[in-house]
Structure formats: C-alpha cells, structure tokens
Amino acid sequence: MGQGKSIRLDRFLAEMKQGTRSQVKEMIRKGRVLVDGTVCRESDRKIFPDETRVTLDGQPVGWADTEYYMLNKPQGVVSATEDGRYQTVIDLIDEAKRKDLFPVGRLDIDTEGLLLITNDGALAHELLAPKKHVDKVYFARVKGTLKEGIEARFQAGLTLKDGTPVRPAELVIEKKWNDAGEDLCEARLTIHEGKFHQVKRMFEAEGGEVIYLKRLSMGPLALDEALATGEYRALTEDEIRALIERTLTSQNCVSNDENLSDTQNNTPPEINWNTVDAVLFDLDGTLVDSMWMWKAIDVEFLKRYGYDCPEDLEKVIEGMSFSETAIYFKDRFQLPMTLDEIKAIWIEMSIDKYRHEVPLKSGVAEFLSFLKKKGIRMGIATSNAQDMVAAVLDSLEIRSYFGVVATACEVAAGKPAPDIYLKVAADLGVQPEKCLVFEDVPAGILAGKRAGMRVGAVEDVFSLSMIEEKKELADFYIRDYRELIQGAR
C-alpha cells in the first residue's frame, strides 16, 4: 500500500493483525474502534493509514507494510518472539519497523541456517500447514554406524522410535569417513513436513546421532551464502513473489500419503464419538474470542500505576492461574495493594467486556449442540476466576451445556500441569483416556496431554506465531469446530 492511498477500515485492521476480516468487522460494529478520536461503526470507511489515527480498545494501531527477512540463524538463539533465558531470533532483526514479527516455524537452539522472519500471518500459515508439504532441505553431520539401505528407507517413509510415522524423504550421503574409530558422515536431507526434532529423530531411528544441523532452504527460499551466521537481510521482491506463488500452487496439491495418522498431518480426525465420554474446553481463545481483551486490560491496568506493558508479559504469564498471575504482577511491578484487591480490579474490568463484547468462537454453538445430542458430557478448565467465567457463560447463554466449570485456582498448579484437566474429568466421573480436550495455546495443550487425554488445537489469531508448536504438541488442529461435525459418526 503506497503512501497517500486509502484503504477500508476493516482491511486495515486485518492487515495490522488485529483479527480476521470477520472479527474486525464485529469489533467495529461494537464501537471498539475510534477513527481520529470518534467511534466508527462503518467497516467500509476509507482511511489514509499514514495520516489517520486509529485506536482499538484505546490502543493505537499503527500502519506499517508487511516485512520479510531472511536470517542465517546461529546456534544458541531460540526461534521465538520472547524468551526469559535466551536471545531470540527477533532480537537479531535490528531494522524492523514493527514489533509484531515472528519466525515462520522453528529451528532448535543448536540448529543453524535459514529462517524466515515476517509479520505476514497468512503466508506463514500457508507455509506451515501440514497439507502443503513445503520442502525443507538440511545439511547434517552425523556420527554413528548407519544401517545399510538407509536412503531407501528414508524414501519409503520411516517410523520413528516412538511409533510416529513420517513422510517419504530424500537422503543423499555426500561424504563418509572414520575418525579415531568412530563413523562419521555428511548428508543432505529433504523433508516435506516439520515435526518436532524430526531430522534428529529420523537419523536416531537409523542408528545415528546428528552433531551438526543447518537448514539450507524452505520451499523456493534458499539461504543466501553471503550471509554469515547471525546475519540477515530483507527478502527481494522476487523471493517474496516466489513464496506467495508457492503457497497458491500448493493449495491444489493433494497428499499421496493418506495412510498417515491424524496426529501426523494434524487434519481434523474422523472421530468415533462413541468412544468419547467427555469433551473438555479451555475458555479464552478456545470457546470464546476473548484473547484480545486481556492485553488491553493489562495495558490499562499497568498504566494506572505508571508502567508500560512489557513485551514479554503475555508469554511469561501463559498458563498461570488467576491467583498466580496476581502474585506475579504484585511482585514484578511492586503494586501497592493486596492480591485480593488486584484480582477485584481485574474482575471488574473484564466482566463488562465479557458481558458485552466477547463472542463465541466460530462453530462453537453448533458443536455444543452436537455434543449434547450425542449425550457427551462437557466441562470447562480455565485459568480465569469463577466470576469472570460466569459472566461470559451467562451472557452467551451456554452455561447449561457444562456439567463442571473449574478454575486453576482450585488445583495445586496451573497449566501446563495436568491438575485442572484431571479435576474436571474426576468431577464429571469419566476416565482421562475417554476425554477429548480443546486448547488454543501450548501450555494448555501440554496440560491436556500430560493428563493422558487427546487434545485438539484451536486456531486463534493471538497465538498464530505458535502455530507450528501447537500442531506438534496436539493430536490435530482445527480452524472451526464445524470441521468436526461434518461426516461425524
């Protein structure tokens, strides 16, 4: 979008990653958006991004073009937007105009090579979607005696030591040697997916140990050999165009690996509902579209006491119970009130938003009705306080669906500990292995898995940068609950 050109208000907010087009339309309709200080309820209102002042829930929404960077990731740096212990890949991008950049996918802390850094959520989703089969090429140095015929087994599709199947991959052994009695080799491997520690686990299954790993390419994007380790540059127009064209053509690709499990490709499974006794839900970002409001509350709350909202705050408090979060705020910001007073302020601030501004996630109403007709019990396991949960359930008229509503304050530890899910299952009178959990963030997914339950990851715009991690941890991934109803049995 060139300077001086106008753009629709809803498109502007969507491109600024404030939500999907339908979500921002709803925000505008509810009067949450101000244009030059005046409430605007017209989604098609034309604005000039470089000149018009737009705020959402009192926070300014700044204009900047989408950014794309190629990074030659060094060892010792984590593929994350924030981390309390290590330097992140985002820390290396000095010239970024905006603060909403994220890495497309993940390289392990000890892995080097190509990493795409952007704020283009739509492109990232297409590149990471399991069905897209985007090629990734790695250079690996491996020690150990590899089994004979390893190339053919990689080409046929391996089964890892934990029983996980992986898609066919192309392996080329480029060099072999022996050093002090130890077998070593260098290899080039092309995979078509991105499972957790996949390259290392593939060689491990064949008797080898990866001692050095570097990603050379991802789809049409190849690592610039002129970039030293730790250096980056903006993508060229040709590189951006090639990535976009790759995602468009991949939409027509059909997998020839239909025999792989639902866990492998993360597509919504055809669930045999006769084997499910209970479905358990997280609340924010899973049942209701409410994650946007917590950052707004944090900003407003901290501003009252003279603090700017730290960039790492959301990641740090992810999964904490309501009480644990209050303790953290009081200690970190030296707040001059009791824990009960902090929580009372938050409850007051959130209840109004829950009652008047928070909608159900896409397909939730239909899915709850479907489960009720099936006779499947339902429960909620949330980090929120009961007063806030009651406000949203009553305003959306869905309380009657849930036999148990539990908060993390009622158990010993919040997510990612399994306590809250084990409690809900016990209160419903069902065994953990008969439960299906829905969550929107990694900490919650881990909680469900550690409770011995099957877990579905739910798409939410506020955890888009975690999409690959969510898909790795969960058994499947959905964008809309209606995906689970179609063809259900």
Residue 208 has which token pair? 């080898």
User: How far apart (Å, rounded) are the C-alpha atoms in residues 242 and 219?
Assistant: 9
115 φ, ψ to 5°? -145, 130
Q: Which two tokens stand for residue 406?
A: 């539990």
Is 238 a residue of the active site?
no
The DSSP string of 397-442 is T-GGG-SEEEEGGGSSS-TTSSHHHHHHHHHHT--GGGEEEEESSH
Tell me if residue 452 falls in helix, strand or coil. coil
The pairing of beta strand 68-73 with beta strand 232-234: antiparallel
Report the C-alpha gap between 116 and 15 in whole angstroms.
Answer: 19
Write the DSSP string, 245-288: HHHHHHTT---S-TTS-HHHH-PPP---GGG--EEEE-SBTTTB
Which helix (H) or strand (E) segment holds residue 140: the answer is strand 136-143
CA angle 83/85/88 to nearest 5° reads: 45
| Spatial contact of 284 and 439, defined as CB atoms under 8 Å apart | no
Q: Evaluate whether 372 touches 393 at the Cβ level (below 8 Å).
A: no
Asked whether 161 and 205 are in contact (CB, 8 A), the reply is yes
Nearest-angstrom CA–CA distance, 70 and 114: 7
Catalytic residue among 108, 110, 224, 262: 108
Say if residues 326 and 407 touch (Cβ distance below 8 Å).
no
Cβ neighbours for 61, distance < 8 A, ≥ 6 positions apart: 12, 13, 16, 18, 54, 55
Residues taking part in catalysis: 108
